[in-house]
Structure 1
């Protein structure tokens, strides 16, 4: 078993419950942790035997383009696509962070993390 992490994928997107958030947009950071059997890849040195992190990055960017009110909703879309399209993934964690959220306070970011395990 092994883990691949894509940390702090930077995306500008339009998520939030406030009308202004869907118009103005905001900066987001997305971290994806993927668990899979990496033994074959470690021996073969072949991309076909591992989780393609270029693909994971593309999934994040595509799903972040679709506006959602809640970070939980966009996180679930990302994690569900990973499981649907990458059969080798056994477990994943997806964290979506809104940088400088409009919550009338001095908060660097707010983060929602979802995890899923293949049964």
Structure 2
């Protein structure tokens, strides 16, 4: 079993509960780790039989930049469901969304929401 990791993909979005977050926007970053049998998927050195990290990036970019969410938890779950439905050869996927600006006083690192799932978790999500 192997992994493809796409860490720290950064996007400017208009996600959040507060009006200012929706109007001014903010930067978030997304980490995706895809678990699948790389050793069998790449034995013929053919992009068509494996998971293209370019396709993963483009899927994340499109969802993150074209949809608006109040909760980054909803964004993380939507990314997970979309990726699981698009890349059916995977065994599991991990998604983390990092929110850099949180309207709270204090000094802190980004807040992070992480979700994980398998293709069997798609049941009930409408895909």
Query: Which band: TM-score by shorter chain?
Result: over 0.9
Q: Which residue of 1 aligns with 2:125?
A: none
| Residues 1:89 and 2:93 are matched in the alignment | no
Q: Which residue of 2 aligns with 1:15?
A: 15
Structure 1: which 5+ runs fail to align?
Answer: none
Query: Between Structure 1 and Structure 2, which shows a larger proportion of strand residues?
Result: 1
Q: After TM superposition, list the pairs within 5 Å mapping 1:1-119 onto structure 2.
A: 1-65=1-65, 66-119=67-120
Residues of 2 paired with 1:100 and 1:106: CA distance? 10
The number of residue pairs the alignment matches comes to 119
Structure 2: which 5+ runs fail to align?
Answer: 121-127
Which stretch has the larger CA shift, 37-46 or 93-102?
37-46
* Alpha-carbon contact 1:3-1:33 (below 8 Å) kept: yes
* Alpha-carbon contact 1:98-1:110 (below 8 Å) kept: yes
State TM-score, norm by structure 2: 0.88
Over the aligned positions, Cα root-mean-square deviation in angstroms equals 1.1
State TM-score, norm by structure 1: 0.94
> How far did 1:100 drift?
2.8
> How far did 1:101 drift?
1.9
